[in-house]
Amino acid sequence: MTPSTDPLVAELARKLVETLGLDMNTETVDPDAPLVGAGLGIDSIDTLELVVMIERDYGVKIDNRAAGAAAFASLNALAAYIRQRRPA
């Protein structure tokens, strides 16, 4: 799945680039690439910014390391995490 075929993944790619000020086009974000470390190179400060954005924009908490590891495995994983936990 590419960001353009899944509206939530596309939205998350856009928010990721905007929130972190990444110097890249949202269309070039690989939805299956790891977000933390070797993937996009997101560090712990960036991760904290994303956690705050996800809670603010989607009402979903990422409140422990295991949840964070699962959620930030990739954009597709983050979209699935949000869908499973988003308030009705």
Element (H, E) at 84: helix 75-85
Classify residue 14: in a domain, yes or no: yes
Classify residue 2: in a domain, yes or no: no
Count of domains observed in the chain: 1
The residue segments making up the domain with residue 68 are 7-85
Q: What average pLDDT does this structure show over 56-78?
A: 93
pLDDT (tens digit per residue) in 21-35: 988 888 888 999 888
Q: 3-class SS at 36?
A: strand
**What is the CATH classification number for the domain harbouring 65?**
1.10.1200.10
pLDDT category at 4 given cuts 50, 70, 90 is low
Cα 31 to the center of its chain, rounded Å:
9
Gap between the Cα atoms of 41 and 6, Å rounded: 23
Classify residue 22: in a domain, yes or no: yes
DSSP E strands, 1-88:
none
pLDDT of residue 88 exceeding 80 = no
Residue among 55, 13, 2 nearest 35 (CA): 13
Classify residue 1: in a domain, yes or no: no
> What's the pLDDT at 2?
46
pLDDT (tens digit per residue) in 36-61: 877 677 888 999 999 999 999 999 99
